[in-house]
Amino acid sequence: MNHPTQLSKYAINQVIGEGAMGVVYKATDTVLRRTVAIKTLRRPLVEQGGGGALLARFRNEAQAAARLMHHNIVAVHDYGEHDAEPYIVMEYVQGSTLKEPLRRGTRFDDADIVGLMGQLLDGLHYAHEQGVWHRDIKPANLLWTNDGRLKIVDFGIARIATMGLSQVSSTIGTPGHMAPEQYAGEQVDRRVDIFAAGVLLYMLLAGRPPFVGSNENVMFQTLSSEPLPPSRVHGSHRPQWFDPVVARAMAKRPDDRFATAMEFKHALMAQASQALGLPPIAARLEAGSSFIELQSAPTLPDPRASDWQRGTFALDTRPQPVTTRPSQWHSETLQMLESELAQSIGPLARVLVQRAARSTGDLMSLRQTLAEQIDTEAGRDQFLQRTRSRASSFGTLGSGGAAVTTRRRAADDTLLGDQVMRVAELALTQHVGPVARVIVSRAAARASSRDEFFRLLAQHVEDEDEREELMRTLESSSAGR
């Protein structure tokens, strides 16, 4: 098709994506001189029968998202129509959807999963508090930026509580991610997003959806059967402490789920803190919180609810092992390679470094293997040059392939200690996602004191309230050390 070169004040630069519904362009706002993304709706779809309802949904997306100003939600700047073709102007985000790494079978660390889910639930909680629920949370609608930020996009079927849109069919959504009440055509509320977030958590843990098969089979399973807990899925190798959180989020009855996205987040963070042997780092939980409720069955359990639905089956409360780096390599060598590779490919760098480290025995081969993951020749050359110069400060390889370090970090055990580093990484992950590990590593190398280390980490959190919360968490966690 012929693509426009200009839409109002927006100069079209390139096509980002194209589908049956419309096209997404990368463009430049010629007045404000900023890069934006423009999502269009194809004219034939608007002109054909039923196009009015589709156009209403498209406008609804603009209206819903335009009222949401949050760093975990893609911002909407403008709405317009060009030659009877409507378009939405949005924040341009560099990165990819979560659909891509899940499709490739990328395995996320437990801490990364907690961080990604924390960001999603922060964004959902904010939207819900504004009277908006998304109704189509799925990997394709979650952007993962190059710096590890998760952003929610596509509020095209969102319901706005104050706009009287209850007549819109509750069955709209994506099979496999829809809550039972959506399939049943019942009235929905914010808890459909809680269910969909639970489905996403299941996928991140198990590496597969909880419900599979044809759309009809998926609907039947969603309405009447329970998925295998993530820890019991073959090959998942996940700790059991995730299971009750997933179970409650995906409960069949809305009343059995977490009441809010923030309650979901608190429960996940509290379980993670306990299981990893760390002090509580989530927001302070009040008496009677979801964390307490997850430890024992309700006083009067619903006889129709299974143990999986209630999330009350026995937990292994022993601390679970934290994912470690390949033992034949010195941790500083791998941290250096992660930080350099992350400049080119983002937070996937850690996964690729760990994978390559297990299959290579010398530094030259490891650097070359990682360089092949960079798309451009110039980028590969720069990575090899930077890692060659930085590798010299780490010394040479030992007989077993382990790097023998010749320098001493400022953040040694007397200054920070492994426990403080782990707490810092997990706490920061809640705010910036998987890139937290790279940030912690760099800050530890630069800091000359524990206070400076904390300040360096806090600089990476944009929101002032969240920055203060992070500092309180870090300071309280180190007070007892």
Q: What residues are labeled active site?
A: 136
- Residue 132 and residue 35 in contact, taking contact as beta carbons nearer than 8 Å: no
Identity of the residue numbered 442: R
Q: Which two tokens stand for residue 297?
A: 């069955």
Per-residue HEC secondary structure of the chain comes to CCCCCEECCEEEEEEEEECCCCEEEEEEECCCCEEEEEEECCHHHHHCCCHHHHHHHHHHHHHHHHCCCCCCECCEEEEEEECCEEEEEEECCCEEECHHHHHCCCCCCHHHHHHHHHHHHHHHHHHHHCCEECCCCCHHHEEEECCCCEEECCCCCCEEHHHCCCCCCCCCCCCCCCCHHHHCCCCCCCHHHHHHHHHHHHHHHHCCCCCCCCHHHHHHHHHHCCCCCHHHCCCCCCCHHHHHHHHHHCCCCHHHCCCCHHHHHHHHHHHHHHHCCCCCCCCCCCCCCHHHHCCCCCCCCCCCCCHHHHCCCCCCCCCCCCCCCCCCCCHHHHHHHHHHHHHHHHHHHHHHHHHHHCCCCCHHHHHHHHHCCCCCHHHHHHHHHHHHHHHHHHCCECCCCCECCCCCCCCCCCCCCHHHHHHHHHHHHHHHHHHHHHHHHHHHHHCCCHHHHHHHHHCCCCCHHHHHHHHHHHHHHHHCC
The alpha carbon of 163 is separated from its chain's Cα centroid by a whole number of angstroms, namely: 29
Q: Are 56 and 50 in contact (CB under 8 A)?
A: no
Alpha-carbon gap, residue 293 to 273, rounded angstroms:
16
| Residue 364, token pair as written in the block | 């030259």
Could you count the other beta carbons within 10 Å of the beta carbon of residue 272?
28
User: Do 471 and 454 form a contact (C-beta atoms < 8 A)?
Assistant: yes
Cα distance between residue 431 and residue 3, in whole Å: 38
